[in-house]
Structure 1
Amino acid sequence: MAKSSADDEELRRACEASIEGTKQKIVMSIRVAKSSGIWGKSGKLGRGNMAKPRVLGISTKVKAKRTKAFLRVFKYSNGGVLEPAKLYKLKHLSKIEVVTNDPSGCTFMLGFDNLRNQSVAPPQWTMRNVDDRNRLLLCILNICKDVLGHLPKVVGIDVVEMALWAKENTQAVTKRQGDLEDGPYQVEVTEGDMKVTVERELVSQVEEEDMEALLGTYVMGIGEAEAFSERLKRELQALEAANVHAILENEPMIHEVLQGLEVATNCVDDMDQWLGIFNVKLRHMREDIESIETRNNKLEMQSVNNKSLIEELDKLLERLRIPSEYASCLTGGSFDEARMHQNIESCEWLANALRSLEVPKLDRTYANMRSVREKRAELDKLKNTFVKRATEFLRNYFASLVDFMITDKSYFSQRGQLKRPDHADLRYKCRTYARLLQHLKSLDKNCLGPLRKAYCSSLNLLLRREAREFANELRTSTKASKNPTVWLDGSAASNQNTNSADTSTVSEAYAKMLTIFIPLLVDESSFFAHFMCFEVPALVPSGSSNGSRSAPNDDDDLGIMDIDDNGKAGKKTADLEALNESLRDLLDGIQEDFYAVVDWAYKIDPLRCISMHGITERYISGQKADAAGFVRILLDDLENRISTQFSRFVDEACHQIERNERNVRQVGVLSYIPRFAILATRMEQYIQGQSRDLVDQAYTKFVTIMFVTLDKIAQADTKYTDILLLENYAAFQNSLYDLANVVATLAKFYHQASESYEQACTRFISTIIYYQFERLFQFARRIEDLMFTITPEEIPFQLGLSKVDLRKVVKSSLSGVDKSITAMYKKLQKNLTSEELLPSLWDKCKKEFLDKYDSFAQLVAKIYPGENIPDVSQMRDLLASM
C-alpha cells in the first residue's frame, strides 16, 4: 500500500511554516481534493466542478488553560508554496456526511453550524483512498471527544466497518493535538481504545440499551452462532406464516376494498374524460378571447389613428386657409400711410404661410399632397401680385418725392445764401415704408434690385443738384485775391512774392464743402444700406469727429437702425459688394463739384493745396464704415487730385529754377535761393498736421533741382566756379537757418549745403594762396614727392633742389612777403560779391597759408639743416598785424 500523505513530515512542516506566528500546532496534515459539484450517476465529477488540490490540517492551540481545535484548509500558490486558505473551528462541527453518490466512499462533507450562508452547499472533500478518509475522520472524532467534549453527527458510515478498520489498523498512529495543560504529547491508539472509540461515537445510549435487551432474550441458545442463526430462521418463518394466515382471514374485507378501488377508478376515469372535454372547451374559449382582444386592439388603434388624423387634417386645413381680409389687402389694397399697418400684417401672414408649407415646417409626407401643392401655388401667385404692386408703387413714390424737392428752389443754395442740404423730411417719408421693404426682401429678394436702382437714380439727381448749387455759391461768395504762380523765377520782380495776399478763405471754403457734404454722403450711404435691407456691418458715425452732424440726422439714423431686426450688424456679408455698386449709382457724378472747388482754389493760390491736403486726410482717417465705401473713394480721389495739382505747381517752380542756367553769366547769389526761403516759410504756415509728407517731398524736389542748377551755372565759368558756389551755399544756409532747426528735411539739405560750402572755400583759398606763393609751395611739393623714393640726405643733391635753389626760391617768394599777403587780400576782396563773407574767408585764408608755411619750414629743417628762413612765429605775427 502506498504511503499516506498523513505521514509526510515535509508536508506537516510546510503547513506549520505557513501558520507560523499563530501559536498553533499541526496535529495532522493530509492531501485532499476539493470540489463543489454534484456527483452524477457515473460516479464522476461534473464538468464545471473540477477538483482542486488542497491540504487539510488539524491544529490545536492552548489558551487560558483551554484547548482550541481548528480545521485548516491550505492551498498551493502560483509558486507551489502552501498558504492558508480557510479556517474552521471544530467546536462548530455539527455533521460528518459521506457522499453516497461516490461509489468509492472517499468523498465526504463537513457541516458547521455557524456558516452564514446555509443555502450554499458545503465543499466536498475527496481522499485518495478509504484508509486516508477513515484516518482523518477518526482523528477529527477523537479531537472532538477528548478536547471539545462532544461528538458531531455521523451520516453514511457503517459503525461495524469503522470498528473493523480500527481493529485491522492497530499500528500506532501519531497525532499532534496542540498544547494541553502539560504541553504537547503523543497518544498511541490501541485496538481496544479504537473499538471503544468507534462504539461510543457511532451508537447512542438508547440504541445500546435496546441491543442489550434484545441479546438478553437469547441467552439460552447463544452459545453457538450456527444454532442461534437456525433458531432465528425458524422464528422468521413462523412469523411469515402467521402474517399469511391473518391476510387470508381478512379476504372479505380485501374484496370490499378492491371493489371500492374499482369504483374509485371508474370515477377517476369519468372525471379524466370530463376534464379532457372541459380542457378542449377552455382552449377554444381562450382562442376566441384572444381573437376578440386582437380585434378590439385593432379597433382601438384605428380609433386613435383616426382621431390623430382628423387633428392633423384640421391643422393642415388651418394652414391652407387664406383669410379674406389678407387676400383682399394683398391683391388690391392701398399703400397709403394709414393702410401700411394692414399691409405689414398681411406680409407677415403671407411669409409665415409660405414657410409653414415648406419641408422643415411641414412633414415631408404632406409636401407632395395635391391640396398642399395647389395651395402653395396660390400663395406664390398672391406673393408675386403683391410684390409687383408694391415695387411699382415704391418706384413711383421715390421719383415723386425727389421731383417735388427739385422743383422747389428753396431747398438749394441761392445767390448770397448758402443752403445746407436737409433730407430729414425725405428720410422720414421713406422710413414709413422701411418695414415693407424688409418684408419684400423676405418674400422675393430679387425685387429689391429694381427698387434700389430707382431710389439711386432719383436721389442722385437731388444730391448732384445740391452739390452743384452749393459749390457755385461757395466760390462766388468767397473773396480772395489771386496769387501768382511764378515763385522761383529769377526774372520776376524781387517784391512779387514778399507781400502775398491772404488766401486762407480758399481753404476755408474747401473745408466747408467737406464739412457739409461728407457727413451728408455718409448719412445717405448709411440710410440707403439699412433702408434697402443690405446686411452690412454697423456704421460708425463719420461726422462725430468734426462735430458737423445735426441732431435731427442723428435721430433719423437711430430710427433706421431700429428698423433692422435681423441683428446681423458687425458681420461681413455678401451684400457688401452689391452695396458698393449701388452707392456708385447713388453718388456718382457728385465728385465733379468737389473737383471744381479744388481747381478753383489751386488757381487762386497753389500753396493752398497743402491746407486742402491736410483737411482731406483728416476726413479720410475718420471714414472707416464699410457702407461709406464710395465716400472713402471720393476722398481718396480728392487727395490724389490735390496732390496732382500741387505736383504740377512744384514742377512749374522747378522749371523756373532750371531756366536760370540759360541766362547770361551769373554773379553773386542766385535769385531763387532767397525766394525758396520765402516759399518754404509760407509752405510751413499752410501745413495742417498731416501734410508733412507732401511738403517734404516738395522740399526734396526743389532743393535737388536748386543744387543741380547751381552746379551747372557754376561750371559755365570755371574761373569763378568756387566763388559762385560758396556764396550761394552760404546764402542758402543763412536764409534757412531758422527753418532747418524745426524741419528735418531742410536740416538734411542745410548740412549738405554746409559741406559743399566748406569744400568750395577750401578750393578757392588754395587758389588765392598758390597765385602769390606758387614757386615756394611748388618747391615744397617736389621735396615731399621725392621723400617717398629716396632718403632725405640725398634730396639736396637732386637737380633743382640744391641749397642754392632753396635760397633763390626763398628770396624770390618771401622778400616783400607783406606785399604778397596784401595782394592776396585784395584779390579775395575783388572776387567776392558778398562782403559779409570777406572776414570769415580772410581768416580761413591766413590760417591755411600759415599751415602750409609751417609744413614748408619743417621740411627745410629736416632736409637742409643750417639754412635760415623766416620763422613761423614771425610769419604768424605778420599775418596777425595785417
Structure 2
Amino acid sequence: MAKSSADDAELRRACEAAVEGTKHRVVMSIRVAKIQAAQGVWAKSARLGRGGGGGMAKPRVLAICTKQKPQRTKAFLRVLKYSSGGVLEPAKIYKLKHLSKVEVVSEDPSGCTFQLGFDNLKNHSMAPPHWTMRNVDDRNRLVMCIFNICKDALGHVPKVVGIDIVEMALWAKDNTPAVTNQQKVQDGSQVQKSEEVEDNAMRVTVEKELVSQAEEADMEALLGTYVMGIGEAEAFSERLKRELQALEAANVHAIMESEPLLEEVLEGLEATSNCVDDMDEWLTIFNVKLRHMREDIESIETRNNKLEMQSVNNKALIEELDKLLARLRITPEHATCLTEGSFEETPMAENIEACEWLTSALRSLQAPNLDPCYEKTLAVKEKRAELQILRSTFVQRASEFLRICFANLVDFMLSDKNYFSQRGQLKRPDHSDLRYKCRTYARLLQLLKYLDKNCLAPLRKAYCSSLNLLLRREAREFSNELRASTKVPKNPTVWLEGFIGSGQSANNVDTSNVSEAYNKMLTIFVPLLVDESTFFAHFMCFEVPGLAPPGGPANGKNESNDDDANDDNLGIKDINDSDNKKGNQISELPALNESLRDLLDGLQEDFHAVVDWAFKIDPLRCISMHGITERFLSAEKADAAGYVRLLLDDLEDRIATQFSRFVDEASHQIEKNEKNVRQSGVLPYIPRFAALATRMEQYIQGQSRDLVDQAYTKFVSIMFVTLDKVAQADPKYADIFLLENYAAFQNSLYDLANVVPTLAKFYHQASESYEQACTRHISVIIYYHFERLFQFARKIEDLMYTITPEEIPFQLGLSKGELRKVVKSSLSGVDKSIMAMYKKLQKNLTSEELLPSLWDKCKSEFLTKYDSFAQLVAKIYPTEKIPSVSEIQDILASM
C-alpha cells in the first residue's frame, strides 16, 4: 500500500509554515480533493485533480490544528490551497466545536468522499463542499483524528452518517501498535494501570478510540462466558448479583483496613485546631487596641476638617455677596434714561444701552444665573420689583413712540406724489428710505420682545395697518397707469362668433402687450411684497424655523437697486441666540401669517383689475397669464412669502375662472349651430376652431398645458355632439354631411395633431367617424343600383345556414331561371350602372376634393361584394355562367 500523505513530513512542515504566527499547532495534515456538491461527478481522476475532470476537482490540504488556552484547548480545521507558485496558503478555517455531522457521500461507491456539516454556516443556500481522499485508510485516519480531538478537547463527538462505527473501531484496533498492560498487586487488591499507547505517525492513543481495548476485552470475556454454558437469562442474572455482592464486600474490607490511618489524621487536625484558637484570642486583643487608636485619629481629623471648611466657606461667602451687590446696583444714568429719556434718533443709542443693561440685570436675577438660595431673600425681591417697574415704564413709553413713528413715516410718503406712478410715468415702488429709518429701531424691538413679549402684538398691527395703506396706494396707482399706457386694439377679439371671414381678421390682432403688462405688474410687485414680508418678519422679531437669515437674498428678488440688496440685514444680533440654538423657542408661523394678511390684504383687487382688463381685450391671454402666474408661484418658497403665495393662488384661480367663462361662452356659440343652419357643406366653427387652437398653442407658457387641454376637450366634445344633432335633422344626407365635416376637421388640425396629444386623440376619433360615414354612404349607393342582385345573394346566404347547397336551386325564387333574370336585369348594362353610381356620388358631395378617395372606396367595396356573389354562384349554380370578377374589375378600372 502506498505511503499516506498524513505521514509526509515535508507536507506537515509546509502546513506549519502556512499557519506560522497564529499559535496553531498542526496535529495532522493530509492531501484531499475538493469537489462542489452540484457537480455530481465522482471520477477518481477528478478527485485527485489529475486531468479528465475538466476542472471539477481542486487539490487542497486539510490540517487539524489546536491552540492552547489557559482554561481550555481550541481545535480548528484549516483548508489550505496551492498558490500560483506552488506554495501552501490558508484558504478557510472552521472551528471544530461547530462540527455537527460527518457524512460519507452515497454517490461515491468507493466511500472515499465525505462532507463536514457545521452548524454555524450563514449561507445555507449553498451545499457544503465534498472532500475526496485517496483511499479509505486516509479517510479513516482523518475521521479518527477529528473524533479524538473533539472528544478530548471539546467533550463531544459529531454525528456520523454513512460509516459503520464498529468497522471504524475494528480498523482502529488493526492499525494501532500493540500495547503494554502492567498490573501490580498491593495489599491483596488488584490495580490495573491505564493503557498508554502512542502512535508516532497518527499521534493518537487507544484510550481515545471509540471502544477502548479494556472495554473490548470485557465484552469478549462476557461473550465467552455466555458461550461456556449459560443458557438462561435468570441463571446469568443470579451469577452477576453474586459477583456484585462479592465486590461490595471487598470494598468494605478495604475501608476497614484503612482505619488506623484515619485516626492519625484526626489527631493531627485536633492539634491544629487548638493552635488556631490561641491565634484567634491574640488577634482579638490587637483588634480592640487598633479600634481605639482609629477613633482618636478620626476625632482629630474631623476637628481639622471643620475648621478648614469654615475658612473656605467664609471666603466664598464674601465673594458671592460682592457679586450679588454688583447685580443689585442700579446706576442713576440708566434709571433716568429708562424713565424719562427721549426716543429721538440722536439719543437712541443711549436708550438701547440702558435697555440692554435692564435686560442683563433681569437675566442676572433669574435662574440659572442666580443661585436658588437667593430667590427668597428680601434684597433680591425688592430689587426685582424695582426692575419690573422700570421695565413696564420703559415698554409703555417705547411702544407708544413706535406706534406714532410708524404712522408718521407712512403718512410722509403718502403725502408726496413723487413716490407713486403718475400719468405717463410708471414708478417702481422704493422703500429704501423707510427701511433705513426702521432699522434704527430694530434693536429696540428685540429688546422690547425680551422685556415684554406681549407688547409686540399691538406694534405689529400698527406697522401692518400703516404700511398696508402705502402698498395699496402704490399698487392702485401703478395698475391704473399700466393699463392706461398699454396700447390695445380698439375692438375686442371675438372668437367662434359670426362667419369665418370676420373671425380670421380678428385672429391677426397682436395682443402680446397685454400679457407683457400683466407680467410687468407681477415682476414689480411680487418681489416687493416678498421683500416686505421678509423684512417684516425679521424686523418684528418673529421666530419662524427655516426663515432666511437677515441679509440673505429673498426669493423672487430681481432687478432691485444695489442699495436695497441688503434691506433685510438689520445689522443686529438676536438677543436669544443661545436659546434658539437650544431649540426652546416656539414657532410663530401662524402669528406671522396672520400679520402678513393684515399687511397685504386688499392688494389683490388691483391685480384682479389687470386680469379682468386683459380678459376683455383678448380672452386667450388668460393662457399666457396663467403660465406667468405659475412661474412666479413656483419661485416663491420662503416661509415669509406665505401670503404672497396665497395672492398668486388667488390670481391663478381668477384667471382660470375667466378662461372657463370664455370656454363656456364659446361652447354656447358652437351649440347655436344646431338650429337654423343649412344641412350641407362644412359647418363654419370647424375651421374657426383650428384657428383658435393654433392661437392657443402660441400662448402656452409653463404648465398651462392642462388648462388648454381641458378647453380642447370641451370644445371638441360639444363640436362632435352638435355635428351629430345637425346630421340627424335630415337622415337622407346625414352620412354625406358627417363625412365632409369630419374630413374638414382632420384637414384643419393635421399639423397640430402631430404635436398635441389631446388633439391627436380627437383626430383619431374623427378619422374613425369619417370611415364609418363613408362605409354607410357607399353601401347605400351600391344597393340603390344593384339592390336586386345583392338581395338574391343575401337570400342564398340565409338559406345556407339551414339546408345544403344542393337543395337551394329547388327553393322558391332561387331557381336557375330566377338567377338568370337577376343577372340579366342587373348586369346587362353594368357599365352604365357603375357610371350612375359615380354621378350620384358626385351629385351629393359639396367638397370636390373628397370625390376621388370616395370613388376609389366605392369601386373597392362593389368589387368585394360582387366577388362574394360570384363565389356563391359558383358553389350553388356551378353550371351557370355570369360575368367574371376580372371582367367587372376591368370595367371599374376603365371608368
Q: TM-score, normalised by structure 2?
A: 0.66
Give the secondary structure class of the aligned counterpart of 1:677: helix
Aligned equivalent of 1:335: 343
**Alignment partners' CA distance in 1, 2:311 and 2:267:** 59
**Alignment partners' CA distance in 2, 1:514 and 1:395:** 31
Give the secondary structure class of the aligned counterpart of 1:414: coil
Residue 9 of structure 1, CA deviation: 7.3
Equivalent of 1:449, from 454, 457, 460? 457
Give the secondary structure class of the aligned counterpart of 1:830: helix
Q: Deviations over 1:99-146 (max 9, x none)?
A: x99xxxxxxxxxxxxxxxxxxxxxxxxxxxxxxxxxxxxxxxxxxxxx
Mapping 1:478-493, distance limit 5 Å:
478-482=486-490, 484-490=492-498, 493=501
Equivalent of 1:525, from 525, 533, 536? 533
Q: Deviations over 1:253-305 (max 9, x none)?
A: xxxxxxxxxxxxxxxxxxxxxxxxxxxxxxxxx99x99999999877765554
Is the Cα–Cα contact under 8 Å of residues 363 and 369 in structure 2 kept in the other structure? Answer: yes
Give the secondary structure class of the aligned counterpart of 1:556: coil
Is 1:740 aligned to 2:753, yes or no?
yes
Residue 377 of structure 1, CA deviation: 1.0
Residue 556 of structure 1, CA deviation: 1.6
Identity of aligned residues (%): 73
Mapping 1:333-732, distance limit 5 Å:
333-482=341-490, 484-490=492-498, 493-497=501-505, 499-536=507-544, 537-539=546-548, 547-559=558-570, 566=577, 573-732=586-745
Aligned equivalent of 1:857: 870
Amino acid at match of 1:45: S
Residue 307 of structure 1, CA deviation: 4.1
Amino acid at match of 1:767: V
Assess, with a 3 A threshold, how the Cα gap between structure 1 residues 542 and 690 changes in structure 2: closer, same or farther.
farther
Is 1:766 aligned to 2:779, yes or no?
yes
Equivalent of 1:754, from 753, 757, 767? 767
Residue 14 of structure 1, CA deviation: 7.1
**Alignment partners' CA distance in 2, 1:832 and 1:443:** 91
Residue 485 of structure 1, CA deviation: 5.0
Is the Cα–Cα contact under 8 Å of residues 494 and 506 in structure 2 kept in the other structure? Answer: no
Is 1:873 aligned to 2:873, yes or no?
no
Gaps of 5+ in 1: 1-5, 18-28, 50-99, 102-285
Residue 771 of structure 1, CA deviation: 0.6
**Alignment partners' CA distance in 1, 2:368 and 2:351:** 27
**Alignment partners' CA distance in 2, 1:47 and 1:680:** 123
Residue 795 of structure 1, CA deviation: 0.8
Amino acid at match of 1:434: A
**Alignment partners' CA distance in 2, 1:852 and 1:570:** 90
**Alignment partners' CA distance in 2, 1:570 and 1:854:** 93
Amino acid at match of 1:453: K
Q: Deviations over 1:319-339 (max 9, x none)?
A: 111111211111111222232
Q: Deviations over 1:601-633 (max 9, x none)?
A: 000000100110110010011011111000000
Equivalent of 1:834, from 836, 841, 847? 847
**Alignment partners' CA distance in 2, 1:408 and 1:647:** 42
Residue 819 of structure 1, CA deviation: 1.4
Instruction: Give the number of the structure whose alpha-carbon radius of gyration is greater.
Output: 1
Assess, with a 3 A threshold, how the Cα gap between structure 1 residues 399 and 494 changes in structure 2: closer, same or farther.
closer
Equivalent of 2:830, from 783, 795, 817? 817
**Alignment partners' CA distance in 2, 1:387 and 1:34:** 104
**Alignment partners' CA distance in 1, 2:191 and 2:892:** 137
Assess, with a 3 A threshold, how the Cα gap between structure 1 residues 687 and 15 changes in structure 2: closer, same or farther.
closer
Give the secondary structure class of the aligned counterpart of 2:852: helix
Give the secondary structure class of the aligned counterpart of 2:346: helix
**Alignment partners' CA distance in 2, 1:434 and 1:711:** 72
Residues 348-357 or 571-580, more deviating:
571-580
Gaps of 5+ in 2: 1-184, 197-257, 280-294
Give the secondary structure class of the aligned counterpart of 2:775: helix
Assess, with a 3 A threshold, how the Cα gap between structure 1 residues 477 and 378 changes in structure 2: closer, same or farther.
same
Q: Deviations over 1:678-720 (max 9, x none)?
A: 0011111111232111111111111111001000100111001
Amino acid at match of 1:465: R
**Alignment partners' CA distance in 1, 2:751 and 2:343:** 72
Is the Cα–Cα contact under 8 Å of residues 530 and 564 in structure 1 kept in the other structure? Answer: no
Aligned equivalent of 1:96: none
Is the Cα–Cα contact under 8 Å of residues 527 and 560 in structure 1 kept in the other structure? Answer: no
Assess, with a 3 A threshold, how the Cα gap between structure 1 residues 563 and 30 changes in structure 2: closer, same or farther.
same
Assess, with a 3 A threshold, how the Cα gap between structure 1 residues 382 and 814 changes in structure 2: closer, same or farther.
same
**Alignment partners' CA distance in 2, 1:322 and 1:293:** 46
Is the Cα–Cα contact under 8 Å of residues 657 and 705 in structure 1 kept in the other structure? Answer: yes
Amino acid at match of 1:880: A
Q: Deviations over 1:466-510 (max 9, x none)?
A: 000000000000001055454223557545545531111000000
**Alignment partners' CA distance in 2, 1:293 and 1:45:** 42
Q: Deviations over 1:30-58 (max 9, x none)?
A: 99789999979x74636989xxxxxxxxx
Assess, with a 3 A threshold, how the Cα gap between structure 1 residues 36 and 435 changes in structure 2: closer, same or farther.
farther
Q: Deviations over 1:45-81 (max 9, x none)?
A: 36989xxxxxxxxxxxxxxxxxxxxxxxxxxxxxxxx
Is the Cα–Cα contact under 8 Å of residues 482 and 603 in structure 1 kept in the other structure? Answer: no
Is the Cα–Cα contact under 8 Å of residues 555 and 636 in structure 2 kept in the other structure? Answer: no
Give the secondary structure class of the aligned counterpart of 1:416: coil
Is the Cα–Cα contact under 8 Å of residues 399 and 459 in structure 2 kept in the other structure? Answer: yes
Aligned equivalent of 1:45: 273
**Alignment partners' CA distance in 1, 2:521 and 2:581:** 31
Is the Cα–Cα contact under 8 Å of residues 530 and 560 in structure 1 kept in the other structure? Answer: no
Aligned equivalent of 2:788: 775
Aligned residues: 632
Is the Cα–Cα contact under 8 Å of residues 584 and 630 in structure 1 kept in the other structure? Answer: yes
Amino acid at match of 2:623: I
Assess, with a 3 A threshold, how the Cα gap between structure 1 residues 811 and 490 changes in structure 2: closer, same or farther.
farther
Amino acid at match of 1:321: R
Is the Cα–Cα contact under 8 Å of residues 531 and 560 in structure 1 kept in the other structure? Answer: no
Is the Cα–Cα contact under 8 Å of residues 486 and 492 in structure 1 kept in the other structure? Answer: no
**Alignment partners' CA distance in 1, 2:442 and 2:643:** 23
**Alignment partners' CA distance in 2, 1:347 and 1:332:** 13
Is the Cα–Cα contact under 8 Å of residues 522 and 542 in structure 1 kept in the other structure? Answer: no
Is the Cα–Cα contact under 8 Å of residues 337 and 354 in structure 2 kept in the other structure? Answer: yes
Q: Deviations over 1:732-780 (max 9, x none)?
A: 0000111111111111111111010000000000001111111111111
Amino acid at match of 1:796: P
**Alignment partners' CA distance in 2, 1:481 and 1:873:** 66
Is 1:794 aligned to 2:807, yes or no?
yes
Residue 558 of structure 1, CA deviation: 3.6
Is the Cα–Cα contact under 8 Å of residues 490 and 672 in structure 1 kept in the other structure? Answer: no
Amino acid at match of 2:577: N
Equivalent of 2:316, from 291, 308, 315? 308
Assess, with a 3 A threshold, how the Cα gap between structure 1 residues 743 and 35 changes in structure 2: closer, same or farther.
farther
Mapping 1:244-263, distance limit 5 Å:
none
Q: Deviations over 1:644-687 (max 9, x none)?
A: 00011111000000000011442100000000000011111111
Is the Cα–Cα contact under 8 Å of residues 320 and 372 in structure 1 kept in the other structure? Answer: yes
Give the secondary structure class of the aligned counterpart of 1:555: coil
**Alignment partners' CA distance in 2, 1:818 and 1:810:** 14
Give the secondary structure class of the aligned counterpart of 1:557: coil
